[in-house]
Structure 1
Amino acid sequence: MIKNMMIISMTLFCAIGYGQTKQNAKYVFLFIGDGMGASQVYTTEMYLNAKPNEIKSEKLLMNSFPVNSNMTNYSASSYVTTSCAAATAMSTGFKTNNGIIGKSPDKKIAYENISQKAKKAGFKVGILSSVMIDHATPASFYAHQDSRNMYYEISMELPNYNIDYFGGGGFHHPKGKKGDQPDSFENAIKKGYTIADSHEEFNKLKNGDEKIIAINPEKYPTGEFYWAIDKKEDALSLADFTKKGIEVIDNDKGFFMMVEGGKIDWACHGNDGVSMVHEVIAFNDAIKEAFEFYKERPDETLIIVTADHETGALTTGINYATHPELLKYQIISVQEFKRKMTELKNTDPKVSFNTILDLVQADFGLGNKDVGLSLDDKELALLKSAYNKQFKGHKKVNADADYLTKTKTKSMGETAAYILNEKAGINWGSGNHSGTPIPVRVIGKGQEEFSEYFDNTDLPKKILKLMGI
């Protein structure tokens, strides 16, 4: 009897000892490509590998990770989710209705999210995005509001949870929609945050700095990063913010970092295929920074790459053919081409259609028969119609309009992108989200936990389990 008791005691001791010494995922990266379905990733791979008359595919880093699975993402109110409902599920483990941030469908319960739980457990936390940090996806990792559109309220809530590092774009309305409210940045400063919104201040950030809000000094007036395709000189990238974030919050206890490639979604809403490709590349570059960290600590680091939803119902191929090499002739975002057209109209209101066609060829390749981009009568008619509406019909084109704004009048830039996508075999089913499951790519400590098809509510549960929280 005594012998049996000793065996039981030893067994329990070993079990408890194993539970206490078993190594957890100490450093966790969650990369969310907003709007990035499998087609967005594959189109990017085709673009990077494309050569005339050559079929070849080399994987992006994310697609080389050993675990490749998929995740469902429906919300509590629809099979087609919004970013905030999806990100709420991914951060809290609970479904909510489209439009809600961090709360139950009836808006009565504020769900505790993974950032809050990680902080309570002693981990450091970083939240990064290439769009405004009070936008739907990043906000869902710290805020609790009835609507994703309550940007001012979200920005005022941001400093309440002592998150260590915010990085990316600015706030939508730092003084409220009417500009008459207490400043969101001043509110954060009062609560102990340091604002780094210049290159000098960004470069000075170092390991151990606490409560940082790093804002890209090169951004659009509305707060989001410039498009990756436009290569604005000296503009900081998502990779820069990721690298700096790692430097700032690296510590012996560990950290959780969420990094959003937000403008993938924006490009897909606008059906701007080439800008989308460049945003996926920029997102992949950020993943490379985490991967460099992983290579130094492979037994302690976990990298998860996924999306909140797919945008645009993107497919590839027309009549069994694609010509992704043609996409390389677009060298500007649709938004910047809109700005170029607006400036031209202001300086030369009577600019000719032929002059515009020359600019379309220079920036999109269209009309260059030597590379397979000649324009037929139908395509010329589409461009002429857009020209007449924009330059002759006095239709104003707002280059900085909200990315969700839909207009019946298609600008020259949107029309050019549509024609180029058609020629390359890139098809868009809509300008909105689709309900398709989204890819999950994982490497590192506990990667096997993600190997089977699962729901987005399971994501934070798996991460917290692996972190030992």
Structure 2
Amino acid sequence: MRKLFRAILLLFVIFAISPTSEAASPKYIFYFIGDGMGFGHVQTTEYFCRFGQNAETPDSLIFLTFPVSSSLQTYSANNLMTCSSAAGTALACGTKTNNTFLGVGPEGEHLTSIAEQLRDKGMKIGIITTVAPDDATPGAFYAHQPSRKLFYQIGKDAAESNFDFIGGAGLREPNNKNNPSDINLFTYFADKGYTLCRGIDGYEQSGKNADKILLLQADSSKTSSLGYTMDQEENSLTLPFMTKAAIGHLSKNAKKGFFLMAEGGLIDHAAHINDAGCMVQEILSFNESLKAAYEFYKKHPKETLIIVTADHETGGLALGTVDGNNMQHLDYINYQKISKDKLAKIIKNILKENKKNSWNEMKEFLKKNFGLWDKIPVNTGEEGDLMKYFQVTFLSKTGIETQTLYAHTDQFTEAVFKLINKKAGIGWTTFSHTGNPVPFYAIGVGAENFSKPMNNKDIPAILRKLSGIK
């Protein structure tokens, strides 16, 4: 009898400690995408937090504490340097496609995203971004179009998605320019049961009891982005606010859970113009959004999965300069008050209005908004270079503009930021995307499945397996 008891006890112990044949399925999935956010972007921001931030209690990036970290390859079906739509499609649908394609395969075939599949399983779905909801990355989760520039059709796909929470800057083409008789997109969203909320006040007034929400920024004329964090006015719509609002909305009566994709789209925009200070602030805002998700995870640790990655790397960012200066001064980032984009717009307005602007006036402006001379040392030769480009931009007006994906920049602005990057010890190799791998981080239910180097198309495949989707 005693031998039989021992045998039964042994079998019980074996079954108790053996892994189950089926992995647990996360009930709540957070999918954070830092557009353009490479390893250099993350490390620069982390070092700024730890060694450069003027704060009594330096912060750190929450996702660097996650137990799983890895990397993703990002190439598209037809190019080693992917665009956001091809990368977004791989991250959303699990299939490599051609650059500019969105939610369709290389032959134009309809693809189904993980968000659409989880919706069909009864989960609530949220898609939020700091750029337009009809942009490439958010669009990859609900749109099926041969070009990322078909904004009206992408917006129509969004309204037809039946997703529960869609948030971002604005709809870039609410009326079909190719067929003006087509229904207005705002009318179409309303017909599909969406409540339009504009800005934080609009959400507070009419969003909390709505069934499905379309949350856009208050200024309807600004449709492309929410604006850089450092340029935003008080009470502007932000990714941290949208994340908290989406969690609150999606978690109500979420018997089968929810899926939330949150994109820091302006990390990419800042990297395209090689604005390191602006890029750091965008990642810090992205990090604040992640903190909201992490607080939710701590309340539901056995039901929640958080993954963090990027669609591609932008700018070829690294700590280091090309002139042999090995010193980094990330504390100089503290003195930047406006983005490179805003400086270029200010200069453009000065030129347009033909205002007289002396070098001494510009020097005071640079002291106030970037800390040059005042906080950041500028030698005689460096000042001479700035004066040279000041002259060709403002006096002879023979300067040549630099064109990047989202901006046109005058030579003087380029010279200012070349100097600032040099002083901070930050190097860039391009104004475009690169083929570099991007980081990946995870915590929660099933996170261990992402622990090896991967391809971006692997992420939806793993999520499908975890969620029991064949």
TM-score (norm 1): 0.88
Is the 8 Å Cα contact of residues 338 and 397 (structure 1) preserved in structure 2? no
Alpha-carbon offset, residue 414 of structure 1: 3.3
Amino acid at match of 2:359: F
- Structure 2 residue matching 1:80: 3-state secondary structure: coil
Per-residue deviation at 1:78? 1.3
Moved more, 251-260 or 373-382: 373-382
Q: Tell me: CA distance 1:350–1:57, structure 2 relative to 1, closer, same or farther (3 Å).
A: closer
Secondary structure (helix, strand or coil) at the match of 2:126 reads: strand
Alpha-carbon separation, structure 1, partners of 2:46 and 2:150 = 37
Pair 1:283 & 2:308 matched: no
Aligned to 2:41: 40
Shift of 1:468: 2.7
The residue identity in structure 2 corresponding to 1:366 is L
Aligned partner of 1:141: which letter?
F
Deviation at 1:272, TM superposition (A): 0.8
Q: Does the CA-based 8 Å contact 2:175-2:184 persist in structure 1? A: yes
For residues 394 and 194 of structure 1, the distance between their equivalents in structure 2, rounded to whole angstroms, comes to 50
CA contact (8 A) 1:264 1:276 kept: yes
- Give the letter for the 2:364 counterpart: D
- Which deviates the most, 276-285 or 192-201? 192-201
Equivalences for 1:126-275 in 2 at 5 Å?
126-177=126-177, 180=180, 182-204=183-205, 209-218=210-219, 221-250=222-251, 251-275=254-278
Q: Which residue of 1 aligns with 2:381?
A: 377
- The answer (yes or no) to whether the contact 1:67–1:443 under 8 Å persists in 2 is yes
Write out aligned runs for 1:298-309 (5 A).
298-309=301-312
Residue 363 (1) aligns with residue 369 (2) = yes
Say if 1:346 and 1:241 are closer, same or farther in 2 by CA, change over 3 A. same
**CA deviations over 1:69-92 (Å, ceiling 9, x no partner):** 111111101111111101101111
Q: CA RMSD in A?
A: 2.8
Which residue is equivalent to 1:60?
A: 61
1:183-215, Cα deviation, whole Å (9 max, x unpaired): 221221122221111433311456673221111
Q: How does 1:314-463 map to 2 (within 5 A)?
A: 314-318=317-321, 319=324, 320-345=326-351, 349-368=355-374, 371-390=375-394, 392-393=396-397, 404-405=405-406, 410-463=410-463
Matched with 1:296 is: 299
Q: Distance in 1 between matches of 2:79 and 2:363?
A: 43
Alpha-carbon distance between aligned partners in 1 of 2:29 and 2:52, rounded to the nearest angstrom? 37
Three-state SS of the structure 2 residue aligned to 1:293 is helix
Mapping 1:77-156, distance limit 5 Å: 77-107=78-108, 109-156=109-156
> Residues 196 and 379 (structure 1 numbering): CA distance in 2 closer, same or farther, change over 3 Å?
same
Q: Distance in 1 between the 2:67 and 2:365 partners? A: 45
How far does residue 20 in structure 1 lie from its aligned partner after superposition? 11
Structure 2: stretches of 5+ with no match in the other structure = 1-14
Give the letter aligned to residue 310 of structure 2.
A
Cα–Cα, structure 1 residues 208 and 72, in superposed 2: closer, same or farther, change >3 Å?
farther
User: Residues 385 and 219 from structure 1, CA distance in 2 versus in 1: closer, same or farther, beyond 3 angstroms?
Assistant: farther
**Residue-by-residue CA offset, 1:143-195 (whole Å, 9 max, x unaligned):** 01111111122112211121111011111122245894542212211222211
Distance 1:466 1:205, change over 3 A: farther
User: Take 2:364 and 2:135, find their aligned partners in 1: how far apart are those partners?
Assistant: 38
For the 8 Å contact 1:317–1:427, the answer to whether it is kept is: yes
Checking the alignment, whether the CA contact within 8 Å between 1:46 and 1:57 is kept in structure 2 is no
**Cα distance in 2, alignment partners of residues 357 and 372 from structure 1:** 13
Instruction: Give the match for residue 7 of structure 2.
Output: none
2:464 partner amino acid: L
8 Å CA contact 2:169, 2:217 repeated in 1: yes
The number of residue pairs the alignment matches comes to 445
Counterpart AA for 1:329: Y
Offset from partner CA, 1:103-126 (integer Å, 9 cap, x none):
11121x110111210111111100
Give, in whole Å, the separation in 2 of the partners of 1:307 and 1:328. 25
Distance in 1, matches of 2:383 and 2:176, equals 44
Q: Is the 8 A contact 2:132 2:224 kept in 1?
A: yes
Amino-acid identity (%): 35
Q: In structure 2, do the counterparts of structure 1 residues 444 and 266 end up closer, same or farther at CA, with 3 Å as the change threshold?
A: same
TM-score, normalised via structure 2 length: 0.88
Q: Point out the more displaced range, 274-283 or 247-256.
A: 247-256
Deviations 1:418-448 (A, max 9, x none): 2101111111100000111110011111110
State the 1:372 CA deviation: 4.0
Residue 50 of structure 1: SS of its match in structure 2?
helix
What is the Cα deviation at residue 385 of structure 1?
1.6
- Stretch deviating more after TM superposition (331-340 or 212-221): 212-221
Q: Distance in 1 between matches of 2:396 and 2:177?
A: 34
Contact 1:364-1:416 within 8 A present in 2 as well: no
Check the 8 A contact 2:23/2:466 in 1, yes or no. Answer: no
What is the CA distance between 1:329 and its match in structure 2? 1.6
Matched, 1:28 2:34: no
2: CA distance, partners of 1:99 / 1:437: 20
- Do the aligned residues in 2 keep the contact of 1:218 with 1:226 (CA within 8 Å)? no
- Tell me, yes or no, if structure 1 residue 76 matches structure 2 residue 77: yes
- Contact preservation (8 Å) 2:83, 2:99: yes
Shift in CA distance, 22/334, structure 1 to aligned 2, threshold 3 Å: closer
Q: Find the aligned partners of 1:151 and 1:206 in 2 and give their Cα distance.
A: 25
